[in-house]
Amino acid sequence: MLLRQFSSRQPFLVIIGPVLSMFVLFPAYYFGLLHFSSTSFPLDQWLKGWEHIPWLLVTVASGLIFLGSLVINLIFNRHEFNLAPSYVPSFLYAILSTSLAMVEVSIPNLLANLFVIVGLNKQFEVWRQNRAIAEYFVASFCYGLAALAFPPFIWLSPGMALAVMNTRSFHWREHFLSIVAFVTPFVYWWSYLFFIDRLDTLILFRTVFSFNAPEGPDWNNNYILFFGIMIGLTFLFALRSFIFLSDRSSNRARSVKRIFLIMSIAMIGSGVFSYFILHEVTPGVILLPLGIVAGNWFTNYRYSLIAPFMFYGLILSCIALLLHIFGRI
């Protein structure tokens, strides 16, 4: 049983998902099936200069998925989201990232996710400390890097402020330095453009007002629709379990869970902001929340009759989507 294997104590399982991702993306590149995002975000504009070397873009995307899968599993096990180590989050993140990449590859989103994971790791380390300035500074700096790579993630800053206020008493230095740390990557970016005399390109994002829906996945495609429905249902069922049925009762575990939920709301809110204000469809914002929340639910599949069916249904939707894109069905 696949779930039983990934929920066991076998560390080598952590690389199975990322390796499978590479076995999908590189053949997809070879057959010309990959489409790279073309948003107005600064990193996407810079990556347009790499369009003549697409093998480099797919290598970068594969590397980011590989690293993201490893690091998300690291924080899942290190910060005790589950009683025993599990490698389901790594597998989920890799498979879902690959499936979304087959619809559209968003390198800025994948890179930003990596920065967010590192930031979450530092934020989770804070527990009953009199001073946590250094941890919050590093976490906020990572969130700033994520927002620079993927501008909708500017909502991570207020999300972090809410998470800190929800888990600690008020210390103005922590909030002030967190804001300074979040802004610092943007100051470096401005300085770089100033020294190369390119301040005319200092545009983080462009607000678009239109009555037309932004271009995104073709929901009239039954395979994409099935994939989207399975993601939505899985997240809703898993979220209920994550909030109300968690088997972790320690104060530290509850603190970590509250922080993650608040930051997940900020990430999903970033996608809503991107859709309605920036007129950009960014489904990749769901990857981290779904990887942890659904990973926790599937790891504890023994306590839920529906979890195994949802897991295999989600995997089936991914496989069907991939086979459809490769022209096999």
Above 60 in pLDDT, residue 213?
no
| Cα 30 to chain centroid, rounded | 26
Given a contact cutoff of 8 angstroms between Cβ atoms, the answer to whether 303 and 247 are in contact is yes
For residue 154, which phi and psi values (nearest 5 degrees)? -60, -20
What is the structure's pLDDT at 23?
92
What is the pLDDT, as a whole number, of residue 211?
47
Cα–Cα distance measured from residue 43 to residue 62, given in angstroms and rounded to the nearest whole number: 17
Between 26 and 246, name the one with better pLDDT.
26
pTM assigned to the model: 0.90
Between residues 329 and 166, which one has the greater pLDDT?
Answer: 166
Residue 22 pLDDT more than 50? yes
**Is the predicted pLDDT of residue 322 greater than 70, yes or no?**
yes
Residue 298 or 83, more confident: 298
- The Cα 187–Cα 192 span in angstroms is 9
Mean pLDDT computed over every residue of the chain: 85
Q: What local confidence, expressed as pLDDT, does residue 194 receive?
A: 82
Task: Tokens 């008493």: give the residue.
Answer: 169
Instruction: Quote the pLDDT of residue 212.
Output: 54
Residues 91-124: pLDDT tens digits? 999 999 999 999 888 899 999 999 999 999 999 9
| Radius of gyration (C-alpha) of the chain in whole angstroms | 20
